[in-house]
Every structure is written in structure tokens, then in C-alpha cells.
Amino acid sequence: MRKAFRQAASVFTKAAQAILALTVISGCSTTSVPSAYASSGKYAAIVVDANTGETLFSANADAGRYPASLTKMMTLYMLFEAMQAGRVNKNTPIPVSRYAASRPPTKLGLKPGQSVRAEDAIYGLITRSANDAATAVGEYLGGSEQRFAQMMTAKARRLGMKNTVFRNADGLPNASQRSSARDMAILGIALREHFPREFAYFSAQSFNYKGRTIRGHNRLLGKVQGVDGIKTGYTRDSGYNLVSSVKLDGRKVVAVVMGGASGGARDAHMASLIAKYLPRASRRGGEPLIAAQDTAPIAAPVQVTPVDLPEANDAPVPMARVETEEEVGQGDADDEVITALAAPAPRPAAAVAVASVARAPKAAIPAHVDPVTTASARSNDAQANSGWAIQIGSLPSSEQAQAMLAKAAAEAGQSLASVTARTETFEKKSKTFYRARFVGFETNTAALNACALLKKKNFNCFTIAN
């Protein structure tokens, strides 16, 4: 008994030391930072020796950044964990809700009421970065996307990811969803260590789905020797992101680049980091760097400390409303994908509330935004029918929309405490606009009452059925 206890303590001590090593900036060389990124508010990078945990290169590695579709790495972690526990297998049919099917591109084109095999969803997330499949997975595992995002954040804490908050399963724009290059490196190492069999999925460059060949976005696979995954990501606010896993001649590294100016520039920078720092990595293998986590439900709330995100420019906040709107979807293809969606589909009220929370000063972030709890899964059918939202403006920049939401939330106080602030993009006459909305109202009456209060505070607003 004592021997077993000492062995277990040794494993967790070594894991803790490895995670600590990931927080120490060592071997940092600013000469590896391209001059174009020297003053960028989006750029961050790190290269970690995946044998020892040593940081070989670091630049802004702990700064808050938008993860974009790197978020799907955690969605896949949670799915792999369910598969490892026997709750899901590769042929498990995952149902597709109307909400999941309505997610903007990139996507597989799933239809409401159909299902997608778990393995097809995995390949869809890795190659196509399919937002509809990611949302379906989140709803299946968590009961709603909101609960799944809470589970993802709690899992991130258990893995040692200190600066990460998840708000959705797919990585679509959300002002309060954040991470860091170091946290993404930790997640990349954890995926490799905890799921060595499933990790092979990340090397897929394409897959066949219903007679179509779907090609992946990760162009380093097959072109840079030793690269065997992991994931790309892109939104306007994040820039071009990439996590790469490399294994060659006994050396292993996980490298992260966030905030690239273009897909090509990001890939070139990642290739240069690999070329420079892989030869410096150790061939010595040791204990796992990230302790494997149990799959028991997480009962206690996890407090999330706000982190600084790239600063928004000061700008006036007009109260303009755009009457004719189309929506914009962002995935991680090199070019932004613009699509006009069908009318918003009815969806579970809990799923409506997941959306985007406006960035606010640390002291002003409401307590209800950050605590993370995990609840038992609940059927989508039990969360029937549609929710309601109120819109207070359509503005020409994300910063203006977020500022308006923050101001409205401050003015309304507890009246908006149970709903979520959200920005959504749409295109009109080749220009991008940002809707400022509060979502998650259970009834139209509740939305109308909140709207009436905001009008008394001199905010224009109207209600919307989601």
C-alpha cells in the first residue's frame, strides 16, 4: 500500500514539475520573431520540448489570445475521453440539432434531425474544422453547448491551462473565449500523451464523407518532416493560428503560433521555428508531462481569472441599426467564408445563452460570467423550443459593439445578469457590421421587459426570436 502510494505521488510530483517547466520561459530568443509581428497585438508563439517540458522558445506565450478553431482541440479531447471510457465508439451516431446545423461555415453541411458518426465528426473537425459537427459533439456530450463549454473550461484547469476560458465547442468568434500559446501547447501535449491511438487522427490530410473528398487546412502535414498534426484556426480577431506536433529521430516538440498575418506567413513562421528548435530538443523520454485526468463529474465551481486580451481601439458608440442583414461565418480556411444563412432556427434556450460575452475591465466582469460548473447532461428535446434575444445596435466594428454591450450591461445591472452578451457579424454592401445582442431570454415577455428597461436608459432595442 505504501509503495503504491509513493509511486502515485512520484508520478503526480513529476507531472506537476513538468507543468511548472512549461510556465518557465527559457531559451527565449526574440530573433525568432518576424519583424512584422514585433508590434502585433495578436501574435504569440511557443516551442516546447515534448520529452522534457522545457520551453525552447517563447514570445507572448502567456498573453490572452483568441483561440479560434484551436478550440476544437479541447472538443476532441473531451470526445476522445468519452471514447476511452467506453461511453462512445467510432460508430456512435451523434444527433444534429437545428442549432448545430445552422452554425456558420466552415461546415460539413449537416442537416437538422440527421446524425453523424463519431469518427466522421472527428475527421470533420480535424480536416474541415467543421463548426456544425463540433457543435453537435458538444451538445451530445454536454446536453447543451453552454454546459459543454463549462466542462471544457473545467477540464482545461485540470490539465494546468491557467489562462483559458471556453464559451463554445467550435471556436467561432466570442469575445470572452480566450486562451494562450502556452495553454495550447499544454493541450497539444496532453492529447498526444493521453490518447496515443486517437492522436493518429490528427495526421489526416483528407477524408471521404458521403462521396466527397474533404481536404484539410494543415499544409505542413507531408511537407515539413516529422509534423504529425495538430490543428489550424482563424477568425478576424484571432489572426491565423496553428498548433504543430513534431516527432523525428527521438525528438518531440509541440509548437504554437497565434495571430499570423496570413495562412502562408503563419506556416512559414512555424516551419522556421521547427527547423531552429527541433535540433535543440532532447531525445530523452521520461514520465508523462501532463498527468492523465479522471473522468468523474466536476462538482465544485472553478474560478476563472480574467486575462488581458488585445486592446480595442477607443471609438464612439453610435446607436445605428442596419435593417437588412446577412450573416458571416468564419472557420479556418485561408479566405473568409461569407454565407447567407436561413432564418435563425429554434434551439434550446441553454444553447442560446452560450454566445459571446463582451470584454469588460477586470473589476467589472460580473461574477456569473466566470464560475464554471459541470451539470449532468440534459436531452435537447427536454430543452424544447426557441429562446429570445434583444438587439441594441448594429455597428461597424467589433470594439464598438462590445463597448455598447458593456455599457448596457453596466446600466441595466442585475436585470441582465441571467443572459449573455453576444456579437454577431454580417455583411452589407461588402462591409462587415457587428450586431450587439443579449441572448438567453426564456420568453418574449422577459425580452420585452429587458428591452423596455434599456429604452429608459436611452438604448434603442428590439426583440428577436432565435
SS3 category, 326: coil
**Residue type at 33 in one-letter notation:** V
CA–CA dist 243, 250 (Å, integer): 20
Residue 447 backbone dihedrals phi, psi, to 5 degrees? -65, -40
Asked whether the beta carbons of 318 and 173 are under 8 A apart, the reply is: no
Q: Is 362 one of the annotated binding-site residues?
A: no
Write down the catalytic residue from 58, 97, 102, 129.
129
Asked whether the beta carbons of 273 and 32 are under 8 A apart, the reply is: yes
Write down the catalytic residue from 42, 58, 69, 398.
69
**210 in catalytic set:** no
DSSP string, 142-167: HSSHHHHHHHHHHHHHHHT-TT-B--
Residue 257 backbone dihedrals phi, psi, to 5 degrees? -125, 130
Write down the catalytic residue from 72, 107, 155, 252.
72
Q: Three-state SS string across 377-429, please?
A: CCCCHHHCCCCEEEEEEEECCHHHHHHHHHHHHHHHHHHHCCCEEEEEEEEEC
Strand-strand pairing, 388-395 and 462-465: antiparallel
Number of alpha helices (DSSP H) and beta strands (DSSP E) in the chain:
11, 15
Look at residues 9, 24, 141, 143 and name the one whose alpha carbon lies nearest to residue 75. 141
Asked whether the beta carbons of 142 and 148 are under 8 A apart, the reply is: yes
**69 in catalytic set:** yes
H or E stretch including 438? strand 431-441
How many residues comprise the chain? Answer: 466
Query: End-to-end CA distance of the chain, in Å?
Result: 57
Q: CA distances (Å), 382 to each of 61, 103, 348, 379, 447, in order? A: 42, 21, 8, 5, 22
Asked whether the beta carbons of 67 and 179 are under 8 A apart, the reply is: yes
CA dihedral 69, 74, 80, 84 (to 10 degrees): 180
Instruction: Count CA within 13 A, CB hemisphere, residue 342.
Output: 10
Asked whether the beta carbons of 116 and 108 are under 8 A apart, the reply is: yes
Query: C-alpha grid cell for residue 312?
Result: 480595442
Catalytic residues: 69, 72, 129
Provide the annotated binding site. Answer: 231
Provide the annotated binding site for substrate. Answer: 231
